Structures are given as C-alpha cells and as structure tokens.
Amino acid sequence: MPDMRFLDPNQPQHGAAELLHVLETVYGVRGEIRHLRSERDQAVRVDVEAPGTPARIVLKISNREQAEDIVDLQTAALRHIESADPGLPVPRVIADLEGRDHRSVTFANGDRHAVHALSWQPGAPLAQSGRVPTSAARREIGAAIGRLDRALQGFFHPAAAHEHAWDFAACLRFRELTAVIADGADRLAVESVFERAADKVLPALPALRRQLLHHDANADNVLVAAGAAAAGVTGIIDFGDLTFGALAAEVAIACDGIAGAGETFDGNESFGDTLVAAMYEVAAGYDSAMPLEEADMEILYDLVCLRNAMAAVIAAARRQGFPERDLHPESPAHAIARLHALRAVGRDAFERGLRRACRFPVYCPRLPEDAAALDEEDRLIATRARRMGKHATHFYERPMHFERARGPWLYATDGHAYLDCYNNVPQVGHCHPHVTRAIARQAAALNTNTRYLYSVALEYADRLTAKLAPQLTACLFVNSGSEANDVAWQMARLVTGRQGAIVMEDAYHGVTDVMRRFSPGHPDVALPPFLKGLVVPDPYRGPWRAGEPDLAEKYAADADRAIAELDASGHGTAAFMIDSALCSSGVPSVPDGYLRAVETRVRAAGGLMICDEVQSGFGRMGQWWGHEHHGARADIVTMGKPVGNGHPLGVVVTTQEILNRFIDEVHLFSTFGGNTVACAAGNAVLDVIENEDLIENGRRVGAYLRDELRALASRHALIGDVRGHGMITGVEFVTDRGERTPARTETRRLLELMRRNRVLVGSEGRDANILKLRPCLAFEREHVDRFIAALDRSLAAL
Ligand code: PMP
C-alpha cells in the first residue's frame, strides 16, 4: 500500500474546557462554544458573553501538521481581501490580546497547534440551507467567487506555494491509489481521467493564469441568507485550502462544489444535463466578475472531471486508511456518480455549453478527430437557408464552416487550419490582438456616436488625414465602402453641379441603389445613361497589349469618348470613380501614366476624382494608397473593408471646402459611422501597420509571391499571366497561352482543389478565370511557400 499519511485528516479534538481556557487567556473572551465540522482542523463557534465584542466568533485550532506560516498565509490573505474589497463577505481576522493574528498554543496533551480567531459570518451553508439554488443564485455565487479571486490577485505570501492535498498540479499521486476504488468500471473511469491529466492537463497548467485561490468554494463554504430568492451570498468561508494555482482550478472547484448542491443523483438520465447546466451558470457568474480566457474554456471540463476523480480516491482512501477518523460526509459514490455523468455529457458538449454561457465563440475543434459532424453542419446549412435566404456563400461546393481565425489562418470546424489568401478585410491579420483589445476596451468604456465630442474619433481623423495628400484634411465617417462611395457621389454632384460619372466598364463600388449602378461588373447591372464605362486598361487581354507604344494614352483616350457622351446627354462629368487596384477587372497591369491621363481629361471636363480605396488602401498595393501608386490626385477618397480590420467602418476623406459645402446642404448623420468603437479599431489598425512595418513587409513578400508564381508558370501552362503590386496579385489562367483562352472550368475546379489543399483563394474577371490573391500584409515567406506548394499540387491534379 502506498504511503497515505498525507491523507490522514487527524483533526485535533480538544475538549470544551481547554478551548474555553484558550479563548479567555489568548483572546480575553468568554462564551459558549459549539463544535463545527471541518476536514482537517478543529473549529468551534463561540457565542460571546461580554457585550462590546462581536457577538459570535469562530476559533480555529489548526491541524498539528499545519506549519504556522500556513496559518499566517490564511490570516494575511483575509486581511488583504478586507483592504482590497471591503464589501466582500469574508470573515474578519480577530487579533489576540497581544495584537497578533495567530499564535502557537501548547495543549494539555503536549500537542502544539496554531490558533486563530475569525468573525462569524451570518447565513447558512448552501448545503444546509434546504434550497436548490436558482439560476440567478448560481450566477451570484459564481460572481462572488470571481470577485474574491479579483481581490486576491495582488496578494503575495512566501508560504503561498505550499503543498496541498487537493492541488491539481499534484494529482498524479492519486493515480497510485486508484486500487481503493472497488468497482472495476468506476476505477477505469477514474484512471482514464488521471491518464488524460498526465497527457494533457498537467502540461497545460503552467501556461494558465495563476494566483492564490480559495480552492474550496463548495456548498459547505458558501453561506446564503435564509429564504432569499437570489442567493444572497452572506459569506465565503474556510480559507484552510488556500492554494497557489490556476484560476481555472478555482472555477472547476466552484462549478463542481456549487452545481451539485441540492441535487441528488437518483439514477435519472437527465442528471448529467442538469448538473452541467448548473455548472455553466456558476462559471458564467464567475466570468462576470473575473473574465475567463480561451485557455480556461479548454481545460475546465478536464479539471471538473479531475476534481471528482481526486475526490473519489481521497474519500475512498480515507475510508479505507483511517476508518477511525471523523470523515467528511462526502462519499466516494457522489464523486463517482458525477464523474460518470460528466463523461456521459462529453467534453465537446460541455465545452460548447460553457462557451455559450460565457459568450465565447461556441465551436472550435482543434484536431481533425474533433471535427464537427457533417449532419450537424447540414443542420446549419439548412438553418442558414431558412433564416438568411438562399444567399450565396463562398464559391465552394460545400460552404466552409469557420468559427475562429488568427493571422493568416482560418480554423475550420473540420479541425484543419486554412491559409487565407482571399482575405481583403483583415489587413493586419485575422483577430490581431492589438485590434481586438482596442475594440473591447473602447466598447467597455464608451460606445456612442458623433453627435458628441470624443477624442478617439479626432485622434483617428488626425492620423488618417496625415497619411494623405495635404488637401485631404476632412473626414466623414460611415459604416461601409458602399456608403462611403454613395456619399462621395452625392458630394461630387453637389460641388460640380453636374450629373454624370465615369467608371470602369466592369467596376464594383457597392450595394446601395446608386452604387449598384456604378457596378457594371455585376451581370444584372446595366449602365444607366448618367454613367459611362471605360475600357479596362488591361495589357494582357484588352484591345492594346503589352509592348505596344503609348499604351496609357491609347486606353486613356476612351475617357474622351465617355466625357463627350456625358456632355451630349446633358449630364456632364461630375466625377470619375476608380478603384486603383482594378480588383473587379482582375488586377490588370495598368500602364504607367494611365490614371493621370484620365484624370487630366476628367478635370478638364470639370469633374472630380473619387478614389475608391476600399480594396487598394491601407498598404494593399505596397504604399498607403492605390491612387498614389498611380500618381493620381484625389478630390475625394473613400475607404472601407480594411479600415477596421473587420470592424465596420467606412470613411470619406476630402477637402475642408467640399465637406463643409456638403454639410451645409445635406443634413447627413450616420448613427454608427465613426462611433467610438469603430474609431478605436481604426486607430489600432494604423498602429499595427506602422509598428509592424507591414507595408514594407507586404511589398517584400508580395514580390516574392509573384516571383514564385512566375517560376511555377514554367511548369504549368495554365498560368497565363501573373501581375500585381504589394499584397494584391492576379493570376490569369488560360487553356492556350497563344490564344489566351480563359480557363473557366479549370479555375473553378482549381478553387475546389486549393480548398482540399487547405488554401482559400477567390476568382475574378468576366470569365472568372483569374485568381485574386489578397493575403494579409503580415504574410510571411513561409506562407507563400505553403500557397505555392498547394497551387503546384492542385494544378498537377487538374
Ligand atoms: N468598392 C470596392 C472597390 C469594393 O471592392 C467594395 C466591396 N467589395 C466596395 C466598394 C463596397 O464595400 P462594402 O461591401 O463595404 O459596402
């Protein structure tokens, strides 16, 4: 039999007369005493006789084995909590006649024990209150425990790292003792928990947030007011198990210790579901006071199981090893029943329930074996069609299911990571922690609109305009690229007094009623008379090809035709709206000087330059703005997509004069446009682009990507053309390089093959034969290598 001495409760059992003597000599108190239940110490309630002192106190005689520095730890912790959060209902330390919080006393039998006294907390232990706590009560209790841990956060004591029988970190010593569990199936269940602890849980513990914890928040140690509808927590008591450990351990212990209160397992099948639902409520309450983290979500199921496995072994071992002691009433059977119930619920369902309760993203398998079941996904697909219409998802035969992402990776519920080369919104990488924190912090401080004065919008407007040409000094905030373009168009008409505009013949500028018309790239959109489309300056496929002289001028001359037509119809030219990346045209290699040549013509006709930077802005093309890449001068710049790295924010930047004329005439106010949280996101995106030197990175890695693509073209004849700047690249696929025949079906199949190779790309162009690559600016060479290898394999498999 292994050494079980550390499990011997061996409580002190001194007689009443001696305790009364200690009370009088050490504390100067007389009264009546009543014994209280305790696992390892001796505790008595004292009804004090003399007036003036507290009417009731608790006298604690620590276990003989208990070193006095541990008692010092406990009383010091209580003093700390009192000063950190005076409102918390925890006992107050009562100093002895010499002003000390504890002292060592020699009893008649020669044993020395540390002794200390605490104030009495009103209420009854939840376990004895006769109540099954309501949901609200469980949340309140969880919150009280979270608040306690908050108060303990800053506490340090040299004895904090002492060994403790219930410490999860030392749980494996119980693995040696599982023979004390008689029933074979029970023993197997317990053993499998220890096995998982050794493999997964213990290695994960050191990375979790750790501090001193109460470590025993169960239904005996949480006191509640009698008869109250809510929990009415009146006390958290028994600091005898204070342990330095992971916050998640505290939550697991509380979930286990509180959730089972008042529920007895009578063999009913719903026991597990009821039990875990109660646990979620305790955890959600805790989370409300002491926010939990992802890592906590991942480990809580294991810790709750482990707590029960430990409880089962400890209870069974004590029964077997120390039958003569007054043992804690909890029997091994309770813990075993809970363990079986937890295992029946299962890790996935538990974690999902917990995540929902604490409002974490619900679902995220890390490994293929944890993948979402296909029938579950079918259910989601059906729900989506019912609730959100037949709206197309991405290009794939079966929609991708993502619930999580980081940097260039999207994590699918099939348990695999997918490299995101489609992107175009999370410019600085998915869920960049600096951006997500800025959003969360601002949302927690103030989330309101531009009817009020607040600094975050002004800081943002200052910073953003400083990145643009000197004449562009004024911002109008909206919520999307479409809105920004819509407003820009209204401004142009107002300022010029003209009614016509020029766009690319397959442009895309948005979804509002007007912007749909500005988007002839859509098959269902025909240009109305007030809009003229320009021939796309595409030297690969357009009427004038690379190598011909005066390419820019030849293409730009089409603007003369458009302007003349707008003049002839009486509309005139109010603006040329241009996406500098020509994304919807498949990122063609626009001839140098083209945009400037069109601009000259538009200005001569009295029109403005509206530069739509929704795709090309924020460093996408290797410098801050796409129109600057082309050497064009903007009157109005519109922004969307990457502005907030995914948080909705659209911006119109223009001159002071244009903005003020517009405001004088049009009383436009966008409720959410430029709200505090959006501006916090915007500022954080600028921070990351600057701090991580992302534009330079995008230039470098983008050039490497195109070099690698061109190298690949030597082996795959399907690659007809590779072009782009910075982090936007187009790859045109043709079935015949001479004829430049668009490889339409091959491209569609390629997208599917790339998906199977776990890389996400999109297609573009009238024939959808152009790969459109817009990885985040934080892309690295290793990601390019992954992409190239996947494309190589996919092309070979076509
Ligand atoms: N302009 C361009 C160039 C775009 O690519 C898009 C979106 N694809 C928009 C405007 C519209 O932006 P949003 O979807 O935010 O309304």
Read off the pLDDT of residues 334-347 as tens digits, 9 standing for 90 and up: 899 999 999 999 99
> How many whole angstroms from 508 Cα to the centroid of ligand 1?
7
Out of 96-110, 227-241, 610-624, 674-688, pick the least confident: 227-241
pLDDT at 51 over 70: no
Is-contact 741 775, C-beta < 8 A? no
Cα separation, 787 vs 779, whole angstroms: 11
Per-residue pLDDT, 384:
86
- State pLDDT tens for residues 196-215: 999 999 999 999 999 999 99
For residue 256, give both structure tokens.
């286990």
Half-sphere exposure of 69 (CA within 13 A, CB side): 8
User: 341 CB under 6 A from ligand 1?
Assistant: no
Cα three-residue angle 439-444-449, rounded to 5 degrees: 75
Percentage of the chain modeled with pLDDT above 90: 81
What are 274-286's pLDDT values in tens digits? 999 999 999 999 9
Task: With cut-offs at 50, 70 and 90, classify the pLDDT of residue 145.
Answer: very high
The whole-number average pLDDT for the span 341-362 is 92
Closest CA to 757 of 797, 721, 719: 797
Q: Does ligand 1 lie within 6 Å of residue 482's CB atom?
A: yes
Residues in Cβ contact with 707 at an 8 Å cutoff, skipping those fewer than 6 apart: none
pLDDT of residue 326: 60
Q: Is the CB of 425 under 6 A from ligand 1?
A: no
DSSP 444-500: HH----TTS--HHHHHHHHHHHHTS-TT--EEEEESSHHHHHHHHHHHHHHHH---E
- For the chain, give the mean pLDDT: 93
CA atoms of 676 and 680, how far apart (whole Å): 6
Q: Is the pLDDT of residue 100 over 90?
A: yes
Q: Is the CB of 579 under 6 A from ligand 1?
A: yes
Tell me which of 127-131, 282-286, 594-598 is least confident: 127-131
Q: Give me ligand 1 centre to Cα 567, in Å.
A: 28
Is the per-residue pLDDT at 265 higher than 70?
no
Rounded CA separation 719/405 (Å): 30
Report residue 769's pLDDT band, with 50, 70 and 90 as the boundaries.
very high
481 lines ligand 1 (CB under 6 A): yes
| Nearest protein Cα to ligand 1, atom 12 | 481
CA of 757 to the centre of ligand 1 (A): 28
pLDDT at 635 over 70: yes
Q: What's the confidence (pLDDT) of residue 129?
A: 84
State yes or no: pLDDT of 88 exceeds 90: yes
Report CA torsion sign: 41, 47, 50, 53: positive
Instruction: Note the pLDDT tens digit of each residue in 411-437.
Output: 888 889 999 999 889 999 999 999 999
- Contact present, 533 and 527 (Cβ < 8 Å): yes
Q: DSSP 3-state helix, strand, coil percentages of the chain (rounded to 5)?
A: 45, 15, 40
Distance 477 CA to ligand 1 centre (A): 15
Dihedral through CA 554, CA 560, CA 566, CA 572, nearest 10? Answer: 130
> Could you tell me the pLDDT band of residue 323, with boundaries at 50, 70 and 90?
confident
**pLDDT score for 52:** 61
Lookup result for tokens 């394999």: 793
In 613-684, the DSSP E strands lie at 636-639, 650-654
Q: How far is the CA of 484 from the centre of ligand 1 (A)?
A: 9
**Would the CB of 626 count as within 6 Å of ligand 1?**
no
Q: Evaluate whether 781 touches 741 at the Cβ level (below 8 Å).
A: no
Identify the three-state secondary structure at position 249: helix
Nearest to residue 769, comparing CAs of 796, 736, 792?
736
Asked if residue 1 has pLDDT above 60, the reply is no
Could you tell me the two tokens for 26? 């050490």
Give yes or no for residue 615 CB within 6 A of ligand 1: yes
Q: Is 392 exposed, middle or buried (0-12, 13-18, 19+ CB in 10 A)?
A: exposed
What is the mean predicted confidence (pLDDT) over 587-605? 98
Place of tokens 């001159």: 655
Give the pLDDT band of residue 489 (cuts 50, 70, 90): very high
Predicted pLDDT of residue 430: 97
Identify the helix (H) or strand (E) that includes residue 510.
Answer: none
Beta carbons within 10 angstroms of residue 445's beta carbon: 12
* 355-364, 424-433, 499-508: least confidently modelled range: 355-364
Band (266; pLDDT cuts 50, 70, 90)? low
pLDDT band at 229 (very low <50, low <70, confident <90, very high): low
Q: Residue 202's CB: how many other CB atoms inside 10 A? A: 18
Are 555 and 591 in contact, with CB atoms under 8 Å apart? yes
Q: Which range among 120-124, 299-303, 687-691 shows the weakest confidence by mean pLDDT?
A: 120-124
Q: Are 60 and 43 in contact (CB under 8 A)?
A: yes
What's the CA gap between 537 and 593, in Å, rounded? 11
Concatenated DSSP letters of 689-738: HHHTTHHHHHHHHHHHHHHHHHHHHTT-TTEEEEEEETTEEEEEEEEETT
**Would you say the CB of residue 510 lies under 6 angstroms from ligand 1?**
yes
Report DSSP state, residue 588: -
Cβ of 613 less than 6 Å from ligand 1: no
Burial class (CB in 10 A: 0-12, 13-18, 19+), 424: buried
State the angle between helix axes of 332-345 and 184-196 in degrees (0 to 180), rounded to the nearest 10: 60
Q: Give the whole-angstrom CA distance, residue 416 versus residue 409.
A: 10
Distance in angstroms (rounded) separating the CA atoms of residues 520 and 515: 10
Lowest mean pLDDT among 30-44, 307-321, 374-388, 603-617: 374-388
Distance in Å, CA 735 to ligand 1 centroid: 31
CA pair distance 7, 108, nearest whole angstrom: 25
Our CA dihedral for 229, 233, 234, 237, rounded to 10 degrees, sits at 140
pLDDT of residue 218: 94
Model pLDDT, residue 53: 63
Question: How far is residue 418 CA from its own chain's centroid?
Answer: 18
Q: Residue whose CA is closest, atom 13 of ligand 1?
A: 481
How many Cβ atoms are within 10 Å of 537's Cβ, its own excluded? 25
- How far is Cα 148 from Cα 170, in angstroms, rounded to an integer? 24
pTM, full prediction: 0.85
Please tell me the distance from the alpha carbon of residue 310 to that of residue 325, in angstroms, as a whole number. 19
Confidence (pLDDT) at 161: 84
From 580, 615, 638, 772, mutation site for ligand 1 pocket: most ligand atoms within 8 A of C-beta? 615
For residue 652, report the distance from its CA to the centre of ligand 1, in Å: 13
Give the per-residue pLDDT at 331.
78
Q: Whole-angstrom Cα distance, residue 658 to residue 673? A: 19
| Token pair belonging to 795 | 């092309």
Q: Is the CB of 508 under 6 A from ligand 1?
A: yes
